[in-house]
Chain A
Amino acid sequence: MLRVRAHSGRALAQGFAAFARAGASSFVSKSVLTVARPQAASRLLSTTSTIKQHPKEENQAPPTHTSPPPLLSQESNAPAPANGGLALPLDGIRILDLTRVLAGPYCTQILGDLGAEVIKVENPKGGDDTRAWGPPFAGNQHDPADRGESAYFLSVNRNKKSITVNFRTKEGQAIIHDLAKRCDILVENYVPGKLQKYGLGYEQLKELNPKLIYASITGYGQTGPYATRPGYDCIIEAEAGLMHITGESTGPPVMVGVAVTDLTTGLYAHGAIMAALLARAKTGRGQHIDCSLMDSQLATLSDIGSSFLISGQEPHRWGASHPIIVPYQAFPTRDSRIMLSGGNDGQFKSLCRILGLEHLPTDIRFRSNSDRVKHRDDLIKIMTERLQEHDNQHWLKAFEGQGVPYTAINDFAHTFAHPQVAAREMVQEVEHPKAGKLKLIGIPVKYSESKPSVRLPPPLLGQHTQEILRDVLHYDAEKVDSLATAGAI
């Protein structure tokens, strides 16, 4: 059981940390603006642009413009934005995507959502492993015998084109070289050293295209004693502290219900790639980006990790409770569970009124938050007893509009039926060539100047090989045939 230290300064600091953790918007009275460094950013408004949408244009003089430069070269096959004609932030950017499974594809999917043309390179035999990771599968409306794509694959691969290339062959490597010259970004998630063997490492491709931004995503990073170990989300959740702090206080450590470390890494990577694009606008050069599950996992230990680094105090598992705010946890009701917060004295008073426990706020054991923390067990017992007298529905109704944070612990049916989820368009239906109508999760970030959407459904394996070879690389029919014969595509 974590004891709150008596030292007032530390408790205050922890309290602030808890408040910061507890809410996005509640407790700030004086604001601190986060400012970008003005002198660095102002270069972007300069009249000469060095940002190149396609490296093929590097022999032309950099455009000077008083109006925005053309967004698409003639080379681009990026489909017209289906967003009312408003340009997307990454219109005209082309990405060569060698990633597979989750972290990498999640990253490139966000970039695709933002308008980039993502060319997903898959091996001709089966492609991305996740195509087969099911059940469930989405089926094939034209062929009942075909199980179709896995829900897994469909969740992280929209807004991408699929080409099949076997880069273990010389011809396949040549295709990747040709594509690298015409792409702004390459993203890969192979164990360090693997792609170098095929002539596809950063140093090798930088020769062909010095503007290339080469983003590597691995388990442990490009350097260090663990660099060549394959990376797995749940292994690193265990290895880097997250599992230790997740689970019931009296129970074992548990994994997070999604592969959060993969997703966090993908999120760090998507930002880093855009940071490199911004840097390239100033320097004219690409660079190698090194993202890893372990580093991303570490960074997202955030305030919990910091508590340890600053104080040496080991954190514990707290189940669905909070170490230093009481009550702020899940409670059992007669038929289910409910999440309640009495995070400050005002909320606690309201909460007790709703529960019909008006005497509690003046009880000497529960007057302030630190009192409530000290007598946690007593308070939770009393509240639990009362909450278990009624079903969840009763309490959800009672708490509505009362100014106390509350929620059911929603399963997915309830999550996706949530009125705000619908209002925010977080489920989008698209047409898939095999599966027919498909539901995908929508776009979380909204922009006033553009409307990102699902422009392309998740591609079939190799659906765009011909198109890319013909329209981007300008290979003629004979060359394409010979590549097929050589087993390169």
Chain B
Amino acid sequence: VNRNKKSITVNIRSPQGRDLIHDLVKKCDVLVENYVPGKLDEMGLGYEQLRALNPGLIYTSITGYGQTGPYRMKPGYDVMIEAEAGLMYITGEENGTPVKVGVAVTDLTTGLYAHGAIMAALLARHKTGRGQHIDCSLLDSQVVTLANIASSYLIAGQEARRMGTSHPSIVPYQVLPSRDSHIMIGAGNDGQFKILCSVLQLPELPNLPDFRTNKDRVRNRKALITILTERLRTKDNAYWLEQLEGRGIPFAPINNIAQTFEHPQVIARGMIQEIDHPKAGRIKLTGPAVKYSETKPSIRIPPPLLGEHTDEVLRDVLGYDDQRIRDLKDSQAV
């Protein structure tokens, strides 16, 4: 998570370090921080203090619980907030225990909200000439991404539950076991169900009254899944993947990470990029997710070594001369 950045080392607890940050702030458009509220203010680096130096500054705070409210001073942890704000409760097997998502999704969601908010503030500044303080939190971002699942609760009081890999209202639309692995199959309507049954060589199934429409299939879910599972278990994943190819039903293997990064579409989309790192040599990083017709975002700078760009930034951005830079190093401000 650190490519396309320059690293400078600054001791912001020292007065010279703080002055350096002040100088940088005057030359920056955006500041992003994730300290517990009040911490940076103590060091003379809070929003009110910095906006006095640069009224156009967009100051973005990312915290666990936000700048306001009874929990604002609580440190934030992705996994804790997944548990606290409903996501863990709804993830996991129906008869199993709640589990966390395999990546720190709440952290990532918050980062995604913040990146958009910063650009919104840049657009606003274009009209008003002023910066502002943006307040992002893991908790708020987590809650809002409960989206349609939360809506069932908010609108109708319907408590959410874990569905494992099943869909609450479409059958079959879930992970099913094959002889050697698992496969994700979605037969979202009657037409797709017919195709699925022909692939599985169960042509009589769609005509049975128990399974004819989706409503019927939902009602007789257990029985149907048992039949499908029995048939799927007779062959390996590779066989079924081949059979389902091009038949018009959504399906996918449950790819592990190696398989994910070998996926032909992932490669075609440039989602793995190789770059040179000064220590590690050639390393692979994930490519930019969004493609633009007018520009080509790329990995211009590898993830930086600690303090790799301190001298460069002090010299080229702040215009400090060699003596001043030496003084800052001597006083351990950088």
B75 in contact with A405 (CB, 8 Å): yes
Given contacts A133-B169, A319-B97, 6 further A-B contacts (CB under 8 A): A25-B75, A240-B255, A257-B160, A300-B108, A310-B283, A319-B100
A270 CA to B150 CA in the complex, in Å?
A: 21
| Residue B205, interface by CB 8 Å | no
Can you list 27 pairs linking A and B with CB atoms under 8 Å apart? A22-B79, A25-B34, A32-B5, A33-B33, A102-B148, A152-B152, A154-B155, A236-B252, A246-B99, A254-B91, A256-B101, A258-B149, A271-B116, A289-B292, A291-B289, A298-B260, A304-B103, A310-B283, A319-B100, A320-B79, A320-B98, A330-B88, A424-B69, A424-B139, A442-B144, A444-B141, A446-B68
* A360 at interface by CB-CB < 8 Å: no
Chain A interface size range:
35 or more
Contact in complex: A235, B252 (CB < 8 Å)? yes
For A328, list chain B residues within 8 Å (CB).
79
Q: Are B126 and A257 in contact (CB under 8 A)?
A: no
Chain B residue nearest to A31 in the complex (CB): B12
The answer, yes or no, to whether B56 is at the interface (CB within 8 Å) is: yes
In whole angstroms, how far apart are the Cα atoms of A14 and B324 in the complex?
37
Does residue A225 face the partner (Cβ distance < 8 Å to B)?
Answer: yes
Tell whether, in the assembled complex, residue B116 and residue A274 are in contact, meaning their CB atoms are under 8 Å apart: yes
Interface residues in B, total, Cβ within 8 A: 158
Of residues 191 through 246 on chain B, the ones whose CB sits less than 8 Å from some CB of chain A are none
CB-CB < 8 A to B298: which residues of A?
Answer: none
Find out whether the CB atom of B126 lies under 8 angstroms from the CB atom of A271: no
Question: How many A-B pairs fall under 8 Å by CB?
Answer: 552
Q: How far is the CA of A36 from the CA of B57 in the complex (A)?
A: 11
A154→B147 CA distance, assembly (Å): 10
Closest chain B residue, CB of each to CB of A241? B260
> A410 touching B113 by the CB < 8 A rule?
no
CA distance A419 to B138 in the complex (A): 15
CB-contact partner of B80 in A30, A138, A405, A447, under 8 A: A405
The stretch of A275-283, A366-374, A459-467, A478-486 that contacts the partner chain: A275-283
State which of B65, B86, B135 has its C-beta within 8 Å of the C-beta of A412: B86
> Are A68 and B102 also in contact (CB < 8 A) when A257-B162, A306-B286, A424-B137 are?
no
Q: Contact between A420 and B148 (Cβ–Cβ < 8 Å)?
A: no
Q: Is the CB of B102 within 8 A of A446?
A: no
Q: A residues within 8 A CB of B12?
A: 30-31
| Inter-subunit contact B134/A444 (CB<8 Å) | no
Interface string of A438-456 (1 = CB under 8 A from B): 1111111111111000000
A450, B130: Cα distance in complex, Å = 12
A401-439 contact mask (Cβ, 8 Å, vs B): 1 or 0: 000011111111101101111011011000000010011
Q: Is B261 positioned at the interface, with any CB of A under 8 Å from its CB?
A: yes
Nearest residue (CB) in A for B78 is A21
Q: In the bound complex, what is the Cα–Cα distance between A230 and B252 (angstroms)?
A: 12
Residues in A with CB closer than 8 Å to B85 are: 410, 415, 418, 421
Q: Would you call A309 and B283 a contact (CB within 8 A)?
A: yes
With A33-B28, A90-B123, A411-B89 in contact, is A287–B292 under 8 Å at CB? Answer: yes
Contact across chains for A290 and B292 when beta carbons are under 8 A apart: yes
CB–CB A155/B147 < 8 A: yes
A144 at the interface (CB under 8 A from B): no
Nearest CB in chain B: distance from A329 CB, A: 8
Q: Mark A315-334, 1 if CB is under 8 A from B, else 0.
A: 10111101000001010100
Interface members, chain A 234-292 (any B CB < 8 Å): 234-248, 251-260, 263-264, 267-272, 274-279, 281, 283, 285, 287-292
- Are A278 and B147 within 8 A (Cβ)? no
Q: A239-B263, A288-B292 are in contact. Are A260 and B101 (CB under 8 A)?
A: yes
Q: Does A193 contact B (CB under 8 A)?
A: no
Contacts of A290 in B (CB 8 A): 290-293
Closest-CB distance, B151 to chain A (whole angstroms) = 3
Residues of chain A lying within 8 A (CB to CB) of residue B156: 135-138, 151
Q: Which among A221, A424, A426 is the interface contact of B291 at CB below 8 angstroms?
A: A221
Q: Counting CB contacts under 8 A, is A223 at the interface?
A: yes
Contact at B143–A426, with CB atoms within 8 Å?
Answer: yes
Q: Which residues of B contact A45 (CB under 8 A)?
A: 56, 129
Query: A259 to B77, alpha carbons, bound, how many Å?
Result: 22
